[in-house]
Amino acid sequence: MSGLIRLKNISVWGVDTHARAASLRQWFISRKSLASVRIPILQDVTFSAKPGDRIAIMGQNGCGKSSLLKVISGNYPVHAGERHVEGAVVPLIEMGAGFEPEMSGRYNIKLSYAYRGKLQDYSKAIEQTIIDFSELNEKIDLPLKTYSSGMTARLAFSSAIFQNPDILLLDEIFATGDAGFIEKSQEILIKKVDNVSIAIMVNHAPNEFTDLCNRFILMDKGRIINEGSRKEILRHYYKNILHISDQNVITA
């Protein structure tokens, strides 16, 4: 098993695009500055993962969980610190991104491979596997815009899941669709998490997938604030961040 993640004192800043002049009109008339106003996204994050790690990152919306995944996947460049990632990374972040409504489902399967930089893994055989799994059958050649949202979600999930990464990143993306499809998808997702070298999933609440994890991390305001057992992290999260003191919720 290969795969390694080492992040050392990582800081990432976003840009407040409303505060700076992005056009000449805003510069001349609104008198906005040309300089970028930085917003901290991640601050001094040190994190590592080795083969066998199944990591659940928890925290409120906007705490930096998804940004951390984007740093690992390489979508977000870092402004300070060191990033070292070994192995093929597959981020399942908002599956279906880049889908083209005017084109057929079949074409969108190929497009989704291209957008993940995995065109070399695409083949007619994998395409058929995806079509079979998504249960779209003859509808696969219809334009995506004619699909229901459930069908689109099934296609998005199916075209994302049949990849063999070393590092799997899951951003609150779990099975969608009807009951039968959800069950089938959960099964394959659990198998996938079991088989990859490193799996990292982010959540703002525990679920059946966090039960698969052997490491638990809590984030708040762009920082990693705690790492420990599931129970310890949940207690910290509910008590100190969400301010929920109900013992039943904490121990759930």
Using CB under 8 A, list all residues that contact other proteins.
13-15, 17, 22-25, 36, 70, 73-77, 89, 91, 93-94, 97-98, 100, 102-103, 107, 110-111, 114-117, 119-120
Residue 48 bridge partners (DSSP):
6
- Least distance from C-beta 70 to other proteins, angstroms? 7
Q: Which C-beta is closer to other proteins: that of 140 or that of 234?
A: 140
- Least distance from C-beta 13 to other proteins, angstroms? 7
Q: Which C-beta is closer to other proteins: that of 69 or that of 213?
A: 69
Q: Which C-beta is closer to other proteins: that of 118 or that of 215?
A: 118
Biggest distance spanned by C-alpha atoms of the chain = 58
Residue 71 corresponds to which tokens in the numbers above? Answer: 């740093």
Q: Which C-beta is closer to other proteins: that of 63 or that of 85?
A: 85
- Least distance from C-beta 152 to other proteins, angstroms? 15
- Least distance from C-beta 236 to other proteins, angstroms? 30
- Least distance from C-beta 18 to other proteins, angstroms? 12
Q: Which C-beta is closer to other proteins: that of 97 or that of 249?
A: 97
Give CA separation, 33 vs 15, 26, 27, 184, 229, in Å. 13, 9, 7, 53, 47
Count the neighbouring beta carbons within 10 Å of the beta carbon of residue 202: 24
Q: Which C-beta is closer to other proteins: that of 70 or that of 192?
A: 70
- Least distance from C-beta 140 to other proteins, angstroms? 17
- Taking the C-alpha atoms of residue 246 and residue 252, their distance in angstroms, rounded to an integer, is 10
Cβ contact 222:42 at 8 Å: yes
Cβ contact 153:161 at 8 Å: no
Strand intervals (E) in 87-237: 89-92, 167-171, 198-203, 215-220, 223-228
- What b/e readout covers 55-88, taking b as 16+ CB neighbours within 10 angstroms? bbbbbeeebbbbbbbbbbbeebebeebebebebb
SS3 content of the chain, % helix, strand, coil (to 5): 40, 25, 35
